A and B are shown apart, each in its own frame.
Chain A
Amino acid sequence: GEEVAQTPKHLVRGEGQKAKLYCAPIKGHSYVFWYQQVLKNEFKFLISFQNENVFDETGMPKERFSAKCLPNSPCSLEIQATKLEDSAVYFCASRSTGSYSPLHFGNGTRLTVT
């Protein structure tokens, strides 16, 4: 599609439950990024993919967070055993392979951990 599609829009989980977020990048975009926006203004990089391969995972909390981008499927970000501090808006972005191509963002998934 022409837009980055993120589902669901809102997700509520009890502490300790699993949360799974999905992202369909713009068709033809090879790179997918996940960001976490905890406070209103801070974007924390989590992970990026080049097609189905992890490109950079330096921002991922390794113990509970995992992500995948499989062929012909939306990308996913999964949080096992959610904690209160995981409450945030999670944004997915994609970009094409052009050297100067910008990130195109989805509308985010708001995760609330209670």
Chain B
Amino acid sequence: AQSVTQPDIHITVSEGASLELRCNYSYGATPYLFWYVQSPGQGLQLLLKYFSGDTLVQGIKGFEAEFKRSQSSFNLRKPSVHWSDAAEYFCAVGLITGNQFYFGTGTSLTVIP
């Protein structure tokens, strides 16, 4: 069965520090992968996506993610975190066959001044 694991429920970083949020997936073939961000009271906003090609993808708000097939991972990174990045982050896997999407349980990011 397909699954998405975000091992870190909650992460706290200082403003200006670097950030890495982990995501692992379980799927037989190469899925297409997404990171979304959810601010309080809002829906999910797409940060970036990967489906093929360069394994390092750039997204909005200075985020990037790297697809590592050997590790079944798609970790999200940002070199310098801003206070406005505090939010919930969700990794998602899309399956081309069946038009299905699976979401991780999210990582809550707190940014301290």
Measuring CB to CB, which residues of chain A are less than 8 angstroms from any residue of chain B? 4, 6, 31, 33, 40-43, 45, 48, 50, 55-56, 91, 93, 99-100, 102-108
Contact = CB atoms under 8 A, between A and B. Distances in A.
B100 interface: yes
Given A43-B103, A102-B46, A105-B44, 17 more contacts: A4-B43, A6-B43, A40-B106, A41-B88, A41-B105, A41-B108, A43-B90, A45-B100, A48-B99, A91-B44, A99-B51, A100-B32, A103-B34, A105-B36, A105-B43, A106-B43, A108-B42
Secondary structure dominating the interface of B:
strand
A59 B92 CA distance: 17
B63 interface: no
A41 B101 CA distance: 15
Secondary structure dominating the interface of A:
strand
A27 B106 CA distance: 29
Interface string B40-75: 011111100101000000000000000000000000
Nearest to B42: A107
